[in-house]
Amino acid sequence: ATGDIETALIHLERAIKTQRNDAKIMAELADVYAMAGESRLSKALFREAFFFDPSAVKIEYLESELILKIIENIQELGYSVDNIAEWIPVYAEIWGVFNVKRALSVAEYNRISAAARQLEIELRESPQHSTNLVPRLLNRYFWMVDHLKASGDEAGLHSVLLKIKILDQSIYASYIV
């Protein structure tokens, strides 16, 4: 099986070089790294994959114990099977699983902030789509919080935390603990 893991790593590393923001490939690579015992790299890649596009990640094919446990716990909370992938990054953040993080550039932060504003507009205009929009927006907010903490922007941090609280009080209560 070690040879299979090494072969998979070679092919997936090659694939991710040509398709850098492909959430499906990134999640598969993270899954293989988890099987290879590379926990930190696996967590970082899963975090990125579920940020880029949770719905593109084929969670039914993932074998990482870490992700399987998160999925099981989210199911126990009563979320629909249809949008569990959207909630994985939210609960992985709250439960401290996606704890391997990288610094964002100012340009990346600005893109995430703009994407969050767009999701806020979509949520206001189409509340019937909240089952997918809310977890995506929360995920953007969490990335913003990490950047604002690292840069020492207390006012910005307070503003984003308030947005989380308004969006979902139970998530907020779990997040700030």
- pLDDT 10s digits, 11-66: 999 999 999 899 999 999 999 999 999 999 999 999 999 999 999 999 999 999 99
**Predicted local distance difference test score (pLDDT) of residue 106:** 96
On whether the 2-86 domain is CATH 3.40.50, my answer is: no
- Predicted confidence band of residue 100 (pLDDT cuts 50, 70, 90): very high
| Per-residue confidence band for 127, with pLDDT thresholds at 50, 70 and 90 | very high
Domain boundaries, the chain: 2-86, 106-175
Biggest distance spanned by C-alpha atoms of the chain: 51
Distance CA(91)–CA(98), nearest Å, equals 9
pLDDT band of 177, cuts 50, 70, 90 = confident
Q: What is the pLDDT of residue 110?
A: 98
Cα–Cα distance measured from residue 73 to residue 80, given in angstroms and rounded to the nearest whole number? 12
pLDDT at 1 over 90: no
pLDDT in tens, 67-80: 999 999 999 999 98
Average pLDDT of every residue of the chain: 95
Looking up tokens 């893109």 gives: 111
**DSSP symbols for the chain:** -HHHHHHHHHHHHHHHHHSTT-HHHHHHHHHHHHHTT-HHHHHHHHHHHHHH-GGGS-GGG---HHHHHHHHHHHHTT--GGGHHHHHHHHHHHTT-S----PPPHHHHHHHHHHHHHHHHHHHH-GGGHHHHHHHHHHHHHHHHHHHHHHT-HHHHHHHHHHHHHH-HHHHHHH--
| Confidence at 121, pLDDT banded by 50, 70, 90 | very high
Residue 2 confidence (pLDDT) above 90: no
How large a percentage of the chain has pLDDT more than 70? 98
The residue-averaged pLDDT of 105-130 equals 97
